[in-house]
Amino acid sequence: MQNVSNVNKKIETETERFHSAMLMVREFSRIDTKKQCLAFKKSYGPIRRNGKNIKNSEILSYAKHFAVALKNFDEAWLLMPSDERRGLLLRQIQAEFNVAPVTKSKVYFHISKGKQPVLRMRSDNLLATIWLTLAEMLQENRNTQKCDHCGIWFVPNERRRTASRYAFCCEDHQIKFHNQRKGRK
């Protein structure tokens, strides 16, 4: 029988890994220069397809293509499930995903915090991982947000309500932001 603390550590590690992947996805979608390609590869490693490194010009093309899918996801994420626009956006993402460069993947089950079995996938390359992470973000209904105070992307603890106008990576930044708006220091 597995120790409960080991199981909890594994869940935390999976959650942290997913959060890191979500932030990587956001960073990939913002690549629009060769310099940014090099910085991304330096941070995350080479981007390969069929075992060969992809040229920066191809990475720029993939990033631009991916940015459109992520933009559709950002919009769909804020809409109610019954909204027709959300359905259209998700179908567009599905079409993009179905032609995405996802190659060999390992499929396995993961037991979520709610004790639900969830299908997980591991890929053999970074580009496929980026697309699979977007698919998981869709499945889990999770997204990243940009802090309105410092501009850093973060993974919120819970989905932001559409009525909420601002997002903050921490409580301290929320306080500082509102104090600045009111002219206080």
Stronger pLDDT, 152 or 158, i.e. the higher one: 152
The string of pLDDT tens digits covering residues 46-82 is 988 777 888 999 999 889 988 998 998 888 888 877 8
Residue among 102, 67, 100, 73 nearest 86 (CA): 73
Residue type, 111: I
At 76, give phi and psi (nearest 5°): -65, -35
The alpha-helical segments, DSSP class H, found in the chain are 4-29, 34-44, 56-78, 84-98, 126-140, 171-181
Residue 99: strand, helix, or coil = coil
pTM of the model: 0.72
Q: What is the pLDDT of residue 1?
A: 41
pLDDT of residue 8: 43
CB 44 within 8 A of CB 21: no
More confident residue, 65 or 101: 65
User: Around Cβ 14, how many Cβ atoms within 10 Å?
Assistant: 16
Cα dist. 135→4, 80, 87, 93 in Å?
Answer: 30, 19, 15, 9
User: Which residue would you say has higher pLDDT here, 97 or 132?
Assistant: 132
Q: How far apart are CA 69 and CA 67, in angstroms?
A: 5
Of 6-10, 34-38, 140-144, the least confident: 6-10
User: Residue range 85-94: average pLDDT?
Assistant: 86
For the record, the structure tokens of 141 come out as 């209904």
Q: Dump pLDDT digits (tens) for 1-15.
A: 444 444 444 445 767
Res 104 pLDDT > 50:
yes
Q: Residue 5 has what pLDDT?
A: 43
